[in-house]
Structure 1
């Protein structure tokens, strides 16, 4: 974001512009544009002419400023105000102006503000105009104030000119002004006894929210709903008597000489001169609940309650009491207007009812049939005028004070938008037209300023026409800009698609390159491995590295032969143990004959042991011969290798054959080791006492004193002990009558 706070990726500023009605449009403007461009775009989008944009801070924007200088940021919400002509009035003069414009037309009594020629050059960007009885005060650009008219009635503000800065609102009595500043302070000027001097309450006037007035006094609402009053005590300038109930005040309405305050709960408190309707509230105090709005004539009040009901109090000749004929019609009151001594109520169905002094407009029976679909009611001091939906104006009251529109000498505008009034004349604004009627000296005669008003109206029409043309041009420009934006968006989409496709192609090519590099790396690794194997085979053959492998094979074979010899030796020990057991059995069971039989059997077993020993010696000789033959073969192979080296292919085959033979020898060695381990497990010492006990139980002989274990050198397998235990009962059953045991009963292979 740039320092100004305006940020947009495409150099545009997005703003949301809305009308007071709530309608809103979103505008996109170049960031280098001006407020005038914003105004034209808003007029075209909202279909409204005479618009003035208001910034987020509530100030009107200068059309000549750039968007950046106006402090606008992306996404800001702005308000657009329709520049409808407005009219302000004193008691005898009118002022015609437009919000934000620098031109004003005044007419009526010159000493009552009807001549603004002396201050015309100071009236720039007019924001608000208010009038006392004979002077005007206007808020212009930068919150300054310009005054003209009778000095005794506030037309001279030179005494407080330096204080009149950043003015937010102006209120007026009959002869003085009070201005609310932006910080909530108050500046007053004009007739001191009519509220122009606020010295006594200056310290209390802080953060003022609203100011109301009677003819000669002011009342200000402070935060929290408290009230401060100053001015003529007989006209409400002293509220000390009702200071306690004046809390949580929401709005204040003033008659000629009294105030009525609307509290938060809808109750009403009044103070001031009794002639202003103060002492008349006692009869309606219980009815003043849920009050919505307050209105006043010079000496009477009317309150609109929730639901449109109406309550009035004060002298009957000033409208303080509703006539019985009218009372039944006053339902759903929406709005009211007042002359000095009469009320007129606009009802929800568009009709109007009036009551009060008939010489001040309190009787509308002569025009009641015309008062249909009424949109607005306005009043001078003695007459009323109503604007209907269909356009024609309806007036009633004294002719000299505007009660007869026919005295205007011309037809009213076909479509009246608004009506304004002084004490004795009306002014109506129509479609590009202005009309006045009533007392000539109080603004009812515009002949002297007709040319100026006509020129002003023509200028407004030309401005409207120009604005329409500008709006059309802006619409066309916006259409072209939208087409360009669409083309730009389309090009951006095409560019994004092309970039995406290009990125995808790059990724695919990169993946293929990586795959090719990996494949080449694998091929290189395979080639290196093949070359390494070939080099190793050649180096192995050249360096005779096969000799140690052969030596290892021979060593393994020798270990296997030694294991075989140990196994056979263990078998011989088992045979000897069997013989010894047999001898012991024979000694336990037989006499001399049985002993002889056992000795014969032992002799046979010894003979077989000798044969087994001879067999073992033969095996050892065979192993030695094979070893000698291997040594001789090795010598011959070494000699042949020295004479001529076989080709690499034969060397590889021989190496593979030797490796295979070495693997087979290792397998045989593993099997022999497993057999030897099993034999060792089976040849664990077994207790002889168990065998002897079994024999003694059979022969019923006393136990012999034998050792619990067989000597370590004579090992008896468990299987042999079990067979002997099964054989011994049969042998002892027949005493000496049994035949000699057969050879198969002591099969050495089974043992």
Structure 2
């Protein structure tokens, strides 16, 4: 059958003929080839298409591509505090006061107009509707009192991004302002490259920060002069996907900064790269996966290579392992065995019907098509859900992990938790508030916060890391 892929403006991206017996996966592969490094979803009318659906079941020959520039989901950098934006643009904070949980010093500046809040390990930065930026938290990490000139953040900021230590603000004119410690906060050595044109239309990349961790890309600078459409990082290395589907890497060679051992697999056709703390995994247009980096932490996937040669549609990572979802709904895992790289104990349950995989720092949780949940990995960090297994047999629509535990939202609006007791795995203190009305759950390293349908927020987990929000209740 003949199918046209069009963007939301009606512009044709790809047109082709495929047998009706083919799965929607072939359309996703065509979409990724047309725009490597970008995420997308496919819509046929009001229906979002899933990779395993048959083309013959589509009721029309026009499929709409919706592009999303977001990177693959990763656990947040945020460690010890929370910041909530209210409907009228004010910000409420709680958790460790030294890490941004106490914003009283800037409270008058975040009473209204906040449109974005970004965090690193110990500080926050809020972008306001007028283009100004407000910071608070540990001064050594870019919080209040940091050395950045206040004049540069008074207007014109359109986006703020962070690493663990520092912040960078992109301004409307295309310039970049950085602040925080030397590991990213000081960009003076390349300041001339950040004065305009960011994000650069020519697809070039400029780097700064700790040289060992990828701040110095001079060794592969030729590969970054143009055509880059996405950059992915782990704790100390980077991987850039180019428009031709090739990948360029730099940074700590033991953590994936050197990919020469599989360079032949990264020359073309890469559509997505996912990282954990020590390694990278690249999904190619044919559904195969190539891996590199720390060999015992997911960089070496030879033990399951036969399972990831085709049909992979998504890869998810925790700190030291990977899990690949295949088009047939099965899951293949590799990396540190005790942290989820070995899923043998639940292999029968992962053979089919898996629709999503979520990670904590050392474990995984898979949601299946019937709404049940399967877990594996470090039992102390959510890999063992036996204590709540009867509540995870059906009806689960979302699972969220922090470093130590998981929380599942069910179709009836209730929430179920498991994992490390002190870090949110047990919610008995607030269980009566989680029986209904939960619409979203977010996490930091050791705590959870649930947003309810009435706009209220319920928190639990480590009280010193945001699990206790009584001070702002």
TM-score by length of 1: 0.44
Structure 2 residue 97 is the aligned partner of structure 1 residue 97: no
Cα separation, partners in 2 of 1:325 and 1:296, compared to 1, 3 Å: closer
1:139-159, Cα deviation, whole Å (9 max, x unpaired): 544766655434554555838
1:285 counterpart = 2:310: no
Alignment correspondent of 2:252 = 232
1:265 counterpart SS class: coil
Q: CA deviation at 1:382?
A: 1.2
- Please say if residues 93 and 108 of structure 1, whose CA atoms lie closer than 8 Å, have aligned partners that are also in contact: yes
RMSD of aligned Cα (Å): 3.5
Partner residue of 1:539?
Answer: none
1:370 paired residue number: 391
Tell me, in whole angstroms, the C-alpha distance in 2 between the residues paired with 1:193 and 1:416: 44
Look up the SS of the partner of 1:209 in the other structure. Answer: strand
Match of 2:235 in 1: 215
1:152–1:190 Cα contact (<8 Å) kept: no
Change (3 A) 1:107 1:174: same
Q: When you count strand as a share of all residues, which structure comes out higher? A: 2
2:472 maps to which residue? 449
Relative to structure 1, the CA distance from residue 266 to residue 403 in structure 2 (aligned partners, 3 Å threshold; closer, same or farther) is same
Deviation at 1:238, TM superposition (A): 3.6
Partners in 1 of 2:215 and 2:444 — Cα distance?
22
Q: Report how far residue 221 of structure 1 moved.
A: 2.5
Q: Which runs of 5+ in 1 are unaligned?
A: 1-19, 21-86, 451-751
* Equivalent pair of 2:405/2:419 in contact (CA under 8 Å): yes
Preserved CA contact (<8 Å) 2:77 2:164: no
Change in CA separation of 1:411 and 1:321 when aligned onto 2, cut-off 3 Å: same
CA separation in 1, counterparts of 2:141 and 2:209?
Answer: 5
| 2:321 aligned residue | 300
Pick from 174, 189, 199: which aligns with 2:164? 174
Residues 126 and 138, structure 1, Cα contact 8 Å, conserved in 2: yes
Q: Secondary structure at the match of 1:220?
A: strand
Q: Residues 44-443 of structure 1 correspond to what in structure 2 (within 5 A)?
A: 90-97=78-85, 102-118=89-105, 125-141=113-129, 147-153=135-141, 155=143, 158=148, 172-176=162-166, 181-183=198-200, 193-195=212-214, 204=224, 206=226, 208-246=228-266, 247-279=268-300, 281-288=301-308, 289-371=310-392, 372-408=394-430, 411-412=433-434, 414-430=436-452, 431-443=454-466
| Bigger Rg, which one | 1
**TM-score of the superposed pair, with normalisation by structure 2:** 0.67
The Cα of 1:392 is off from its aligned counterpart by 1.5
Structure 1 or 2: more helix by fraction: 1
2:147 & 2:435 partners in 1: Cα distance?
A: 37
Of structures 1 and 2, the one scoring higher in RCO (CA 8 A, sep 6+) is: 2
- Residue deviations 1:11-57 (CA, integer Å, cap 9, x gap): xxxxxxxxx9xxxxxxxxxxxxxxxxxxxxxxxxxxxxxxxxxxxxx
Q: How has the CA–CA distance of structure 1 residues 114 and 228 changed in structure 2, closer, same or farther, with 3 Å as cutoff?
A: farther
Structure 2: distance between partners of 1:445 and 1:97: 18
Q: Distance in 2 between matches of 1:334 and 1:385?
A: 17
Work out the CA distance in 2 between the residues paired with 1:166 and 1:186. Answer: 22
Q: How far is 1:135 from its partner?
A: 3.1
Shift of 1:236: 2.8
* Mapped partners of 2:415, 2:140: distance in 1: 36
Contact 2:449–2:460 (8 Å) recurs in 1: yes
Query: Secondary structure of the residue that 1:287 maps to in structure 2?
Result: helix
1:224/1:115 CA distance change after superposition, 3 Å? farther
In structure 2, the residue matched to 1:742 is: none
Distance 2:340 2:231 in 1: 25
Secondary structure, counterpart of 2:313 in structure 1: strand
* Unaligned segments of structure 2, at least 5 residues: 1-7, 9-74, 171-197
Deviation (angstroms), 1:91: 1.2
> How far apart, CA to CA, are the structure 1 residues paired with 2:261 and 2:138?
34
Query: Cα deviations across residues 432-485 of structure 1 (Å, max 9, x unaligned)?
Result: 2101100112111112222xxxxxxxxxxxxxxxxxxxxxxxxxxxxxxxxxxx
Asked if the contact 1:176/1:190 (under 8 Å) is kept, the reply is no
Q: In structure 2, what is the Cα distance between the partners aligned to 1:241 and 1:159?
A: 44
Q: Give the 3-state SS of the residue equivalent to 1:245 in structure 2.
A: helix
1:389 and 1:199 map into 2 onto residues whose CA distance is 51
1:176 shift after superposition: 4.7
Give the whole-Å Cα distance in 2 for the aligned partners of 1:140 and 1:388. Answer: 34
> After superposition, where does 1:717-732 map in structure 2 within 5 Å?
none
Q: Could you tell me whether the CA contact under 8 Å between 1:176 and 1:188 is conserved in 2? A: no
Does structure 2 conserve the Cα–Cα contact (< 8 Å) formed by 1:132 and 1:175? yes
Displacement of 1:335:
1.1
Provide the rounded CA distance (Å) in 1 between the counterparts of 2:254 and 2:436: 46
Change (3 A) 1:136 1:197: farther
Q: Does the residue aligned with 1:111 lie in a helix, a strand or coil?
A: helix
Per the alignment, do residues 178 and 241 of structure 1 end up closer, same or farther by CA in structure 2, a change over 3 Å counting?
A: farther
Q: In the TM superposition, what is the alpha-carbon distance from 1:210 to its structure 2 partner?
A: 2.7
> What CA distance in whole angstroms lies between the structure 1 residues aligned with 2:397 and 2:139?
37
Contact 1:343 1:356 (8 Å CA) reproduced: yes
Deviation string 1:585-605 (CA, Å, 9 cap, x unpaired) is xxxxxxxxxxxxxxxxxxxxx
In structure 1, what is the Cα distance between the partners aligned to 2:344 and 2:316? Answer: 18
2:232 aligned counterpart, secondary structure: strand
Q: Does the CA-based 8 Å contact 1:413-1:434 persist in structure 2?
A: no
User: What is the Cα deviation at residue 122 of structure 1?
Assistant: 5.9
- The 2-side partners of 1:208 and 1:166 are apart by 25
- Superposed CA offset, 1:467-521 (max 9, x none): xxxxxxxxxxxxxxxxxxxxxxxxxxxxxxxxxxxxxxxxxxxxxxxxxxxxxxx
